[in-house]
A and B are shown apart, each in its own frame.
Chain A
Amino acid sequence: MVESKRERALVTGVTIFLILFSIAAIIPLISVISTSFSSKSVVDMNLVTLWPKEFTLDSWKYIIDRPDLWRSFFLTVGTTVIGTILALLMTALFAYPLSKSEFRWGSVIMVCVVIAMIFKAPIVPYFLTVRSIGLYDNPLVLILPHILNPFNLIIMRTFFKQFPKELEEAAFLEGCGYFRMLFHFVLPLSKAVMATLALFYGVVLWNQFQHPLFFLQDTNWFPLQIKIRQFITDDSVMMAGTASTVNLNYNERTLRAATVIFAIIPIIIVYPFLQKYFVKGAMLGSVKG
């Protein structure tokens, strides 16, 4: 009885701590949401803390009316989806042969992969390379450089290695080739690793910032993260004689808040469903080296 009482106390304590912790984590978010729904004046005077004051949708109207933001949004969604699919395909096609012991050059290629993973190219040669294959100021730069990641490749290869040999041997006897093997047996049985890697690739593609920053000049192709950055940075230089924005019912701060919320909505929606794969992903490939 004493044991369980202590245990219960511990559980209660932990629960309370976690609740407090999550409240602390969510308060800033709520504050940002409230700011995005408040009028310019109250935000100007630092009056908004938890709840919106002088409720207004003006900031949101401004955001939603901006075509470039939507464009970036769909561009990012598109590159993420297409990029993830392509990335999984490429990674699988590469990882499968590498997982076969009968592939003679496998170990050599593997060493190359590891070298590529450890020694990342410095930025200038990398820039020149990407440029020389025509990806400078080309929207494909949002996808192509990301579709094969050595680390993910190794995870997938390790996973493939765990496949029972007997299964494949049986299939080969029935006259099944490698491609059929991969697409009919291996991939359908690899949903766990696929989901995890999809998440890994997806997050990279969704969050990408450096690549478009370096390689894109055409603002039409700017993904969401850069657009948001443009909205929320402070370095706008005020200029004499600029028409006053006094009569608008939003200001930089409310717009910033609305943009940030706009950008994280998809993540907030998707995240609860994907969370478990994050944990799984950390364990994958950790058993067999």
Chain B
Amino acid sequence: MILKKMSLLMAAGVLAISTIAGCNSSSTGDSSSSGQTSANEDGTVDIEVWGTNIGYKAITKGSKLYEFYKEKLGVGVIHPYVEWNGGTNYLNQLNLKIAANEMPDLFIPQQGIEDSLAKNGAIADLTDLLPKYAPNVWEAIPQEMWDVVKANDPTGQGKIYYIPGVVEYGRYAGMIRQDWLDKLGLTMPKTQDEYVKVLEAFRDKDPNGNGQKDELPTGGREQARWMDHLFAMYGVAMFEGYPEWDIYNGELTYSAVTPNMRAALEFAAKLYKEGLIDKESLLNTKDKWDGKIQSDKVGNYFHWVEHGNLILENLKKNTGVKANFTVLPVPEVEGYEGFYTMKRFAPPQWVIKNNKDENKLMATLKLLNNIYDKKNWKDLFLGVEGMHYELKDGKAVKLPDDKSSQENQLLNPYSTLATLDFTIGLFNSTSSKDSKWAIDQVTRNMKEAQKYAKVIAGDGMPASVYDSFPDINNRTLYVEYATKIILGQYPIEKFDEFVDKWNTSGGEEVTKRAREWYAKVQK
């Protein structure tokens, strides 16, 4: 009997629950489908913004960051939490939202979704809107970049459908331990031969002074990534281990299939054979490789220059050594012109819903205009006092990351439009006394790295050239051959086989599309 009563109760409970859920549905349906939005009491308009959030809190109406943005930018920003998950889940959710006819007013597109949205007229044509209503955006981004965006218009009409992310300076460089060079009485290598001699000295002469031969002269990470400095000296366009497009032999070409790449791989294989590259290079995860650098074992690595302070400070904490990393000038190799690859185009930063609601469209443009206004940048970067930063002796210091209490700083100029001066300024203004030595090194290196950065010709090329050739986009074939050649499992002659295979498996078609795109940009 008891059992029966309990189950009856439960059944009733289920019914009740589903009824409540039913009620909810009607009410939410109403609120979301309303047409013209009325402004808030103070005349501002709320818009929904979607973007990267890797675990921080959402921005909800009336929350601290909401109020902060409203005060600084004049628009209420509602930013619901959407699990990012490398962008994949974000994209899924975004698709579902669009299917439900609830596209956010302003959002970061992913994986080329802006192409189909533009074709369907779902996102706003910004060609005339930006200069008129968001002049700051229009002026902050150089004209040649807008030209590339126009060339990328999927409808082929030369219109602007997205605001590109911009990086105005070279972020990458090979970093070398200046203190090791000094200790061994060596000078900064200028040519490749000198560079190899330095690596040999790092390997043999115990620069970290612990009596063990545990130094790793240089190295990289799995999938032949993060060893771009070895390729840079041969003029191979390479971006975080992804071969890129540049002018070779007078034409836009995928760098992985050029003679330059062949020579670079041959060189890397030689270094590997002689133990000058970490033997585990092709197995290193980020953690593993960073760990080696931070335990005073690595002489030369390749990464973002501006992240160097973390390496330096961790290295000091772990081993007590105040390391000195400087930028490795691209070593000269005869017959090649070396450079560190620079791309000014970050992935598309914003697209705007083709809003029927004029108020919201104008509010969105106003928001963008104010985000790109340089005088707001510092404030946007710092965020809310007490939540994202605190004042120490009158100086704003960022608080450590805390995902459980901080709201997501969605509108961050640092990721929208990065300039060298601004980033260096941030470093200087927010560094603490203890970390000043590391920050000084990093800012010095950031300036130094500009000497070797070159913008490649394929900068801003849309991912649509790879349509229906995902393997080429993922450089699957390249990784296989490159790793095997470096490890010595394949002789360098195999490289020619790779080039053939690449061309026949879609490379030719992709190259054709890429060159067509380039011709359009050149016009």
Other-chain contact of B306, A144, A240, A245, A247 (Cβ < 8 Å): A240
Nearest CB in chain A to that of B306: its residue: A240
Decide yes or no whether B55 CB sits under 8 A from chain A: yes
Q: Is the CB of B318 within 8 A of A237?
A: no
Segment 69-97 of B: residues with Cβ below 8 Å from A: 80-86, 89, 92-93, 95-96
Measured in the bound complex, the distance between the Cα atoms of B29 and A249 in whole Å is 48
Other-chain contact of B18, A131, A144, A242 (Cβ < 8 Å): A144
- For residue B17, which residues in chain A have a CB less than 8 angstroms away from its CB? 140, 144
Question: How far does the Cβ of A133 sit from chain B's closest Cβ, in whole Å?
Answer: 5
Nearest CB in chain B to that of A246: its residue: B313
Q: Mark A57-95, 1 if CB is under 8 A from B, else 0.
A: 000000000111000000000000000011001100100
Q: Mark B10-44, 1 if CB is under 8 A from A, else 0.
A: 11001001100111111011000000000000000
Decide yes or no whether B404 CB sits under 8 A from chain A: yes
Known: A218-B81, A219-B81, A240-B306. A235 touches B86 (CB 8 A): yes
Decide yes or no whether A22 CB sits under 8 A from chain B: no
Segment 160-208 of A: residues with Cβ below 8 Å from B: 179-180, 183-184, 187
- For residue B92, which residues in chain A have a CB less than 8 angstroms away from its CB? 123, 214
Measured in the bound complex, the distance between the Cα atoms of B113 and A270 in whole Å is 44
Measured in the bound complex, the distance between the Cα atoms of B13 and A90 in whole Å is 12
Q: Is the CB of A123 within 8 A of B96?
A: yes
Q: Is the CB of B404 within 8 A of A67?
A: yes
Q: Is the CB of B23 within 8 A of A230?
A: no
Q: Is the CB of B96 within 8 A of A214?
A: yes
Other-chain contact of A240, B26, B287, B294, B426 (Cβ < 8 Å): B426
Measured in the bound complex, the distance between the Cα atoms of B343 and A241 in whole Å is 22
Known: A123-B96, A140-B17, A241-B430. A230 touches B55 (CB 8 A): yes
- For residue A183, which residues in chain B have a CB less than 8 angstroms away from its CB? 3-4, 7
Measured in the bound complex, the distance between the Cα atoms of B475 and A199 in whole Å is 43
Q: Is the CB of A217 within 8 A of B426?
A: no
Nearest CB in chain A to that of B58: its residue: A219
Decide yes or no whether A274 CB sits under 8 A from chain B: no
Stretch from B322-330, B395-403, B507-515 forming part of the interface with A: B395-403
- For residue A187, which residues in chain B have a CB less than 8 angstroms away from its CB? 3
Decide yes or no whether B292 CB sits under 8 A from chain A: yes
Decide yes or no whether B354 CB sits under 8 A from chain A: no
- For residue A131, which residues in chain B have a CB less than 8 angstroms away from its CB? 25, 100
Q: Is the CB of A133 within 8 A of B21?
A: yes
Q: Is the CB of A124 within 8 A of B24?
A: no
Nearest CB in chain B to that of A124: its residue: B99
Measured in the bound complex, the distance between the Cα atoms of B304 and A238 in whole Å is 10
Q: Mark B402-413, 1 if CB is under 8 A from A, else 0.
A: 011000000010
Q: Is the CB of A134 within 8 A of B28?
A: yes
Segment 85-135 of B: residues with Cβ below 8 Å from A: 85-86, 89, 92-93, 95-96, 99-100
Other-chain contact of A180, B4, B287, B306 (Cβ < 8 Å): B4
Other-chain contact of A245, B292, B294, B400 (Cβ < 8 Å): B400
- For residue A86, which residues in chain B have a CB less than 8 angstroms away from its CB? 10, 14
Interface size class of A (residues with CB under 8 A): 35 or more
Q: Is the CB of A133 within 8 A of B291?
A: no
Question: How far does the Cβ of B317 sit from chain A's closest Cβ, in whole Å?
Answer: 5
Measured in the bound complex, the distance between the Cα atoms of B319 and A87 in whole Å is 56
Measured in the bound complex, the distance between the Cα atoms of B25 and A253 in whole Å is 42
For chain B, the count of residues having a C-beta within 8 Å of the partner chain is 73
Question: How far does the Cβ of A216 sit from chain B's closest Cβ, in whole Å?
Answer: 8
Q: Is the CB of A244 within 8 A of B294?
A: no
Known: A144-B17, A183-B3. A246 touches B317 (CB 8 A): yes
Q: Is the CB of B398 within 8 A of A243?
A: yes
Decide yes or no whether B218 CB sits under 8 A from chain A: no
- For residue B290, which residues in chain A have a CB less than 8 angstroms away from its CB? 44
Decide yes or no whether B520 CB sits under 8 A from chain A: no
Q: Is the CB of B427 within 8 A of A213?
A: no
Decide yes or no whether A138 CB sits under 8 A from chain B: yes
Decide yes or no whether A128 CB sits under 8 A from chain B: yes
Other-chain contact of A44, B84, B295, B306 (Cβ < 8 Å): B295
Q: Is the CB of A217 within 8 A of B82?
A: yes
- For residue A230, which residues in chain B have a CB less than 8 angstroms away from its CB? 54-55, 83, 403
Decide yes or no whether A265 CB sits under 8 A from chain B: no
Question: How far does the Cβ of B22 sit from chain A's closest Cβ, in whole Å?
Answer: 6
- For residue B307, which residues in chain A have a CB less than 8 angstroms away from its CB? 238
Other-chain contact of B23, A134, A136, A229 (Cβ < 8 Å): A134
- For residue B57, which residues in chain A have a CB less than 8 angstroms away from its CB? 219
Known: A123-B96, A144-B21, A214-B96. A243 touches B314 (CB 8 A): no
Q: Is the CB of A134 within 8 A of B21?
A: yes
Decide yes or no whether A286 CB sits under 8 A from chain B: no
Q: Is the CB of B381 within 8 A of A237?
A: no
Q: Is the CB of A45 within 8 A of B54?
A: no
Question: How far does the Cβ of B74 sit from chain A's closest Cβ, in whole Å?
Answer: 25
- For residue A101, which residues in chain B have a CB less than 8 angstroms away from its CB? none
Decide yes or no whether B414 CB sits under 8 A from chain A: yes
Decide yes or no whether A226 CB sits under 8 A from chain B: yes
Q: Is the CB of A41 within 8 A of B317?
A: yes
Decide yes or no whether A102 CB sits under 8 A from chain B: no
Give B contacts to A, CB under 8 Å: 3-4, 7, 10-11, 14, 17-18, 21-26, 28-29, 52, 54-55, 57-58, 80-86, 89, 92-93, 95-96, 99-100, 286-288, 290-292, 294-295, 304, 306-307, 309-310, 313-314, 316-319, 381, 397-401, 403-404, 412, 414-415, 423, 426-427, 429-432, 435
* 28 interchain pairs, CB-CB under 8 A: A40-B317, A44-B290, A44-B314, A45-B294, A45-B319, A68-B404, A89-B11, A127-B99, A131-B100, A132-B25, A133-B25, A134-B22, A134-B26, A184-B3, A213-B85, A213-B93, A217-B81, A219-B58, A219-B81, A233-B54, A233-B86, A238-B307, A240-B306, A241-B398, A241-B430, A242-B398, A246-B317, A248-B400
